[in-house]
Amino acid sequence: MTKGIDSRELALGILTEVDRQEEYSHVVLRNVLEKYQYLEKQERAFVTRLVQGTLEQRILLDYIIDQFSSVKGNKMKPVIRSILRMSVYQLKFMDGVPDAAVCNEAVKLAQKKGFQSLKGFVNGVLRNIARNLPAVSYPGEEEETAFLSVRYSMPEWIVEQWLALYGRETTEKILRAFLEKRPLSVRVNLEKITPGELKERLEARGITVRETPYLPYALELSGYDYLGAVPEFADGLFQVQDVSSMLAVEAAAPKEGAACMDVCAAPGGKSLHLAEKLHGTGRVKARDLTEYKAELIRENVKRLGAGNIEISVWDARIPREEDLGTADVVLADLPCSGLGVAGRKPDLKYRITRKQQEELSALQREILGVVQSYVKPGGILVYSTCTVNPGENEDNAEWFLREFPFVAVSLNDCLCRELQSGTTEAGYLQLLPGIHACDGFFIAKFRKKS
């Protein structure tokens, strides 16, 4: 272990901050690992797995803890609850860590965090779990919702929603996919390098590179340590971006010289992709709500060297008179419940509620009602979300066509044959984890009537 740094304490700090819902887990984890870049690769991997695994399996972990604790998890002090969760995760899923070490380190953490009086409680619960873990009783398969909720650590209301939409088999495939480890998806910057050349350079550094389905310029990376230390990343030869997000830009299909607008653009992946497709011509107006988000876009624009992007801070709900009827392409990838990316942002599934889904659907309609006015007659609007919820997806697409002078446009000329279907012919695509080789994502394409 790196001298003076306790990996478990770092993980606890991340989990505690996420538990307070002050920031999303992927952001906190990234910031901590950037701060402690000097950690050995093995330690960084341990912290990452412990944090992500504890969050991914939270419902299962709480289910186990509640069977052995006289105090239920929702009544515990947050720090103690996080210590128990991360410790039970190690006991159940990390075979290389001795049970005694897990228990001892948990007690030390409780004491270090000022809970001297509770170290006996922590020790007793964990040692009892360690002795009896193989005998834990879980919900049976006949209790369909409870079984799937505990086994895959997904809130019951979401399981119920998906069972009603997709049935048992597809729902379980989606849930299983969220718990599977996936490589990092990146888009090759074709203005600077070919996919083959980038693959060769990264493999020479010991990074595992795999080609992906659907798009020839998308790659998956694994086996690297700190991404910021990879020269090809620093030089802007690739951008971190899921294939599903790339497909939204494929749907937009801007022609050279086009005026494009990305209305909720941070961190800028789709704006940069649009700019690349313009080959230095035209322009992309990239907007988002805060200066912080605008700065994220600027950082990526600078790194990739794109010169045809204008970045500004603007609330997409507020019309801009000077933009009316000026855009050939508007990309509206709007705020959503995010359930399609729960595999990469596991705390999302615990934060979202049915009410919030309804509120987000209304927000999406509000924004669409504004940004549709920026599209020129004959121009294109692409609506997308990173969620799996008809109320935010298909229902909003149908509403949009009823309310505004647009027609649906087939996606089939923008997609590989593997993704084409009756729905893509009708102008929309719902991607599902476990069914498709990418995040859950929704894409709909509309053309403004002339």
Q: Which residues are known catalytic residues?
A: 386
C-alpha span between 67 and 135 (Å, rounded): 11
Helix, coil or strand: residue 208: strand
- What 96-103 contacts at long range (C-beta under 8 Å, 24+ apart), as own/partner pairs, is 99/130, 102/126, 102/130, 103/127, 103/130
Nearest to residue 254, comparing CAs of 309, 317, 335?
309
Q: Are 138 and 150 in contact (CB under 8 A)?
A: yes
Q: Kind of pairing, strands 208-211 and 309-313?
A: unpaired
Q: How many other C-beta atoms can be found within 10 angstroms of the C-beta atom of residue 324?
A: 12
Q: Kind of pairing, strands 309-313 and 283-288?
A: parallel
Q: Are 90 and 102 in contact (CB under 8 A)?
A: yes
C-alpha span between 86 and 64 (Å, rounded): 12
Q: Are 433 and 397 in contact (CB under 8 A)?
A: no
What tokens appear for 448 in the block?
A: 């403004």
First-to-last C-alpha distance (Å) of the chain = 65
Alpha-carbon dihedral angle through residues 100, 106, 110, 112, given to the nearest 10 degrees: 90
- The DSSP letter of residue 46 is H
Residue entry with tokens 């210590």: 83
C-alpha span between 277 and 257 (Å, rounded): 10
What tokens appear for 102 in the block?
A: 């897990």
Helix, coil or strand: residue 294: helix
Nearest to residue 226, comparing CAs of 96, 90, 47?
47
Nearest to residue 379, comparing CAs of 311, 332, 441, 335?
332
